[in-house]
Amino acid sequence: MQISVVIPLLDEEESLPELYQWITQVMHENNFSYEIIFIDDGSTDNSWQKIEEFSNKDKAVKAIRFRKNYGKSQALHAGFKIVKGDVVITMDADLQDNPEEIPELYKLIVEDDYDLISGWKKKRYDSYWSKNLPSKLFNSAARITSGLKLHDFNCGLKAYKNEVVKSIDVYGEMHRYIPLLAKNAGFTKIDEKVVQHQARKYGSTKFGMERFTHGFLDLITIWFLSKFGRRPMHLFGAWGVVMFFIGFISAAWIGVSKLYKMTKGEPNMLIALNPWFYISLTVMILGTLLFLAGFLGELILRTQRNSVRYRIDQTINSIEKINQAPTSSTPI
């Protein structure tokens, strides 16, 4: 199979028929062998009924339905587990991503041998103050932190080699940072392509302004995990030892200084009245706690257990058993 199209969605019943027709038209015009995988992330409208209608007449349509809304990252994770295409295309269900981009994205992966191509919505039809400006600031911070020269990390339209999506673990709200997850997994041929952005035709966005706050916090998390996720002792342990050493030397200096003054008969204050003694003691305690944090982090890495991240209610044409309790570790 050449292409798998993975579409996470939430309450998009109005846009689904048009999106489905558009994708199948592009696939047939280019003679692609394909599958379309819809991930219904707990929709409360008739989205699932629409998907069932598609599947009744088209065996290329597969679908997963979550029992409740778990988020886009979990939806992508579930879709990635069952894809079979050599090239995996992800796109949103709101018709803001153009299926006409699929052939060119496929060519970049297959012919130019890229591992991942991320869409870049260079010209956007969103509100400048509520979406465009915060998005530019967010992407600038992501570029600086990750080292990837991409203009639009959060674009839903992306293309991947199959081995990329099988090697990364999209968890939490890390769908914004899939290129960075791929880079941390060892895939270095990552680039971007300018894609057409279309104004939302039906309904309203499912993401509020809080997504930017969450995005920056997730960026800090993934940066930390990429640097120290497999060796927390290197950060916490190192700083703990340094702080404990500084505190210990300071406390020792206070004690030696008092003894020296006592032997010389010079005036001196009680150690318990010296504020620097308590500062040194606090630094030693903080150093010990940091060291213990690093030690506990190492123990957790070695004793982590599987955890249920989402529960699937129904599937369509999904032959493979989907593991609902993936490991909580991340390939970074």
In the prediction, which pLDDT does 327 show?
40
116 and 189 assigned to the same domain: yes
Residues 82 and 128 in one domain: yes
Q: Do 224 and 236 share a domain, yes or no? A: no
Do 24 and 154 belong to one domain? yes
Q: How many domains does the chain have?
A: 2
Residues 63 and 161 in one domain: yes
Residue recorded with tokens 């509020």: 208
Name the percent of the chain in helix, strand, coil, to the closest 5: 50, 15, 35
In a domain, 323, yes or no: no
The residue whose two tokens read 């088209």 is 58
Cα–Cα distance, 59 to 50 (Å, whole number): 14
114 and 151 fall within a common domain: yes
CATH number, residue 9: 3.90.550.10
150 and 286 in a single domain? The answer is: no
Helices 16-29 and 47-57: crossing angle in degrees, nearest 10, is: 30
Contact assessment for residue 36 and residue 3, using Cβ atoms and an 8 Å cutoff:
no
The answer to whether position 200 is within a domain reads: yes
Q: What is the pTM of this model?
A: 0.72
Cα–Cα distance, 102 to 119 (Å, whole number): 11
- The domain in which residue 241 lies consists of 232-303
Residue 263 counted as domain residue: yes
Write the burial class of residue 275 (CB in 10 Å: 0-12 exposed, 13-18 middle, 19+ buried).
Answer: exposed
219 in any annotated domain: yes
Residues 255 and 141 in one domain: no
Starting from the edge strand earliest in sequence, which strands make up the sheet with 34-40, in order?
A: 190-194, 116-120, 158-161, 87-90, 3-9, 34-40, 61-66, 312-316
223, 294: one domain: no
Domain boundary among 161, 195, 228: 228
Per-residue pLDDT of the chain (332 residues; tens, 9 = 90+): 999 999 999 999 999 999 999 999 999 999 999 999 999 999 999 999 999 999 999 999 999 999 999 999 999 999 999 999 999 999 999 999 999 999 999 999 999 999 999 999 887 766 655 566 677 877 887 888 778 989 998 899 999 999 999 999 888 778 888 998 999 889 999 999 999 887 777 766 655 556 666 667 777 776 776 677 677 888 888 899 999 999 999 999 988 988 888 888 888 888 878 888 899 999 999 999 999 988 887 777 666 545 566 778 788 876 554 554 444 333 33
Alpha carbon distance 80, 233 (integer Å): 32
